[in-house]
Amino acid sequence: MVGGHRFTVADMTELRGGAKRLLFDSGESFTVTRTTILWAARRTDPRLARRRR
């Protein structure tokens, strides 16, 4: 999810300099370079997950 919206990756292309371009089913694209910083967060609290035995 990005900004609360689900995106499905249709294609990933490698670009010069190690960058990658993601093409989504919606037609939008996103380019990730070596200096791109992504931030991720969980929507559920891992402390509430069932504990393993």
Token pair for residue 44?
Answer: 């559920």
Q: Is the pTM of this model over 0.85?
A: no
Quick check: 1 pLDDT over 70? no
Give me the pLDDT at residue 40, please: 75
Task: Write down the domain spans for the chain.
Answer: 1-35
For residue 16, what pLDDT is reported?
Answer: 93
Q: How far is CA 12 from CA 8, 24, 29, 30, 31, in A?
A: 11, 9, 10, 10, 10
Q: How far apart are CA 9 and CA 40, in angstroms?
A: 17
Looking at residue 46, what is its pLDDT? Answer: 65
Give the gyration radius of the chain's Cα atoms.
16
Predicted confidence (pLDDT) per residue in 5-53, tens digit: 788 999 999 999 999 999 999 999 999 999 999 887 767 776 776 666 5
Q: What is the pLDDT of residue 19?
A: 95
- For 13, the token pair is 């292309």
